[in-house]
Amino acid sequence: VVNAVVSAALDAARAWQVLDGVLDPEVPVLSVVELGIVRDVAVDGGCVHVTLTPTYSGCPATEAIEAAVVQALREAGAAEVRVQTRLAPAWTTDWIAPAAAEKLRRYGIAPPHLVAATDGQPLRFHPRSVACPRCASARTQRLSAFGATACKALYRCLDCLEPFEHFKAI
């Protein structure tokens, strides 16, 4: 097998790939790209400009995410990384990719506004019910507005009786 020669220059496509390997510290099953917080990537010579929209304003993870983004891109060959924060439009859970929502569910976190479909359709948005990520029951009860982090609420399934976290929709 002959490996393709990897160009030393980091282009925008490669930068996106690198960012897709940077996991969110609060939801370590999703990358910052899957969460939808990377809004723009531009490469200008050796400098990579990344525009981030934090999930929740004041989320303590924001600085850690910025540091992780800079570190990953520098390790991938960027001579310089500039991170810009864009607050408007505000991040919404709608920016979480459907495939990422399914990853959240498998991890045991009920994704925002999504219920498991029973008819072979992909996950779909649902305005009110929070489905159990384990058994897909809609009979769930909120135990606490806050889970391990402020982004999540604690729920319990009334059918399988398992507690689970729900990534709050905003």
Q: Could you list the residues that contact Zn ion (CB under 5 A)?
A: 132, 134-135, 137, 157, 159-160
Quick one: which of 149, 68, 157, 59 has its CA closest to 105? 157
Cα-based distances in Å from 19 to 29, 54, 104, 108, 149: 14, 15, 18, 24, 23
Q: Using CA atoms in the order 93, 94, 97, 101, what is the torsion angle rounded to 10 degrees?
A: 50
| Minimum separation from the CB atom of position 53 to Zn ion (A) | 33
Q: Which is nearer to Zn ion, 32 or 132 (CB)?
A: 132
Of 14 and 105, nearer to Zn ion (C-beta) is 105
Query: Considering the complex, what minimum distance in angstroms separates the CB of residue 157 from Zn ion?
Result: 3
For tokens 């790209």, the residue is: 33
Least gap, CB of 112 to Zn ion (angstroms): 18
Shortest distance in whole angstroms from residue 160 CB to Zn ion: 3
> 91: closest CA among 64, 53, 63, 57?
53
Compare residues 47 and 160 and give the one whose CB is closer to Zn ion.
160
CB closer to Zn ion, 76 vs 135: 135
What's the closest the beta carbon of residue 129 comes to Zn ion, in angstroms? Answer: 12
Beta-strand (E) ranges in the chain? 38-44, 47-52, 80-85, 109-110, 114-115, 124-125, 140-144, 152-157, 163-167
Q: Considering beta carbons, is residue 30 or 157 the nearer one to Zn ion? A: 157
